[in-house]
Amino acid sequence: MAKNRKKKILLVTGTRAEYGLAKATIFRLAQSNKIELRLLATGMHTLKKYGLTLKEIKKDMPVHCVVPIKEQDDMLSALTKEITGIKRYVQKEKIDALMVIGDRDETFAGATVGIHLNIPVIHVSGGDISGPTVDHYLRNAMTVFSKLHLVQTAAAAKNVIRLGANPKNVHIVGSMGLHNLNPHRLFSRQETADRLKIAPEKPWYLVAHHPTPFEKYSFPEQIGEVLQALSKLDSASEKIIVYPNSDEGSAVFISQIEKLRNRPRYRIFKNVGRELFLAALFHSQALIGNSSAGLFEAGYLKKPFINVGNRQAGRERGANVIDASYGAQSIIKAVETASSKSFQKKLDTATPLYRGDDVAGKITQAIFKYLKV
């Protein structure tokens, strides 16, 4: 490496959710004069079906490389393209470190390139334990591939060390998506309702549900039971449904969800953006589905999370989580529990498990220390 050249970090982003979590940290790193941050977008960001969120990123900051995939690509085909595209950019630009977040295929592609080219991998949010999903195995593999580990909790730190991480390179930084999150700075209920085009005086439920191949229920059953439960909730309530991620089975989910697009009290979104999602969650009665946002953001904002199925099984959780099995009646019963005075009282007095105090700052300092800049 040329003398005095700033070290280049390539951050790989592949989904709207993960970019939203990382946004504050990306800004902090990009503004630093100690390193040169490069941003590579791929995966769902490049697909019109999911809102082509690449356009949203470009409004925020430069995107240095785009590795596109096609609508018809299955997960393995997309992964192959992502690995190839990331490899080309890394070798061309002489990247010094790769930064990946969480447990998705797109970020796994980045970690795979790093381990093969002997480039240090910085992994954020490893060490979590979740249910029988591809994400769980990818997360653990990325931990093994990585040199620097920026985890959310003490339990996660123990898990990555158990997988072989050097304890000196493991830092508890909190939850990336909760960085300095202040509910009082979110959109008001009225403004949120105006943006979502729903009635502010009505109760509303936010739905974020993803297909899970390892469930014993088929993809049509997984989404069908959730939608059936929604149909039996208070008819006056608003139902805000956000598209699933791009995992196997997403086409089935989307097909079922789209049948509700023109029904009264249903609002369907390919992508709502980070700020609006948080406001919708904060002003909702509950989040229904299997998104990790139910554990992190909903837990921090003290909003009930109706956790459907096994996708989040085994993960650390706060007092806001109510488990429900696949079955409309189980989901409805969980919603009723969430509405009870006793549950609300427990939630009001609970201390959030996941923290967000200056997470971007902690991550930035840990990276600088590791890279010795």
Is the pLDDT reported for residue 4 higher than 80?
no
What's the CATH superfamily of 183-349? Glycogen Phosphorylase B; (3.40.50.2000)
For all residues of the chain together, what is the average pLDDT?
Answer: 94
Bridge-based pairing state of the strands 305-308 and 238-242: unpaired
Q: Which residues pair with 308 in a beta bridge?
A: 324
Residue 234: per-residue pLDDT = 84
The CATH topology of domain 7-180+356-371 is Rossmann fold (3.40.50)
Is the pLDDT reported for residue 308 higher than 90?
yes
Domain 7-180+356-371 and domain 183-349, same fold? Reply is yes
pLDDT digits 0-9 by tens, 136-148: 999 999 999 999 9
Distance in Å from the first CA to the final CA of the chain: 14
Is the pLDDT reported for residue 17 higher than 90?
no
pLDDT digits 0-9 by tens, 53-95: 999 999 999 999 999 999 999 989 999 999 999 999 999 999 9
Written as six digits, the tokens of 208 are 């974020």
Residue 219: its H or E element: helix 219-232
pLDDT digits 0-9 by tens, 209-224: 999 988 999 999 999 9
Written as six digits, the tokens of 60 are 């925020």
Give the pLDDT mean for 4-32.
92
CB 61 within 8 Å of CB 39:
yes
Q: Where are the domains of the chain?
A: 7-180+356-371, 183-349
pLDDT digits 0-9 by tens, 40-53: 999 999 999 888 99
Contacts of 363 (CB under 8 A, 6+ apart): 25, 28, 124, 150, 173, 176
Q: Can you tell me the distance from the alpha carbon of 281 to that of 302, in angstroms, rounded to the nearest whole number?
A: 10
Residue 3: per-residue pLDDT = 59
Q: Can you tell me the distance from the alpha carbon of 220 to that of 299, in angstroms, rounded to the nearest whole number?
A: 29
Written as six digits, the tokens of 190 are 């009225």
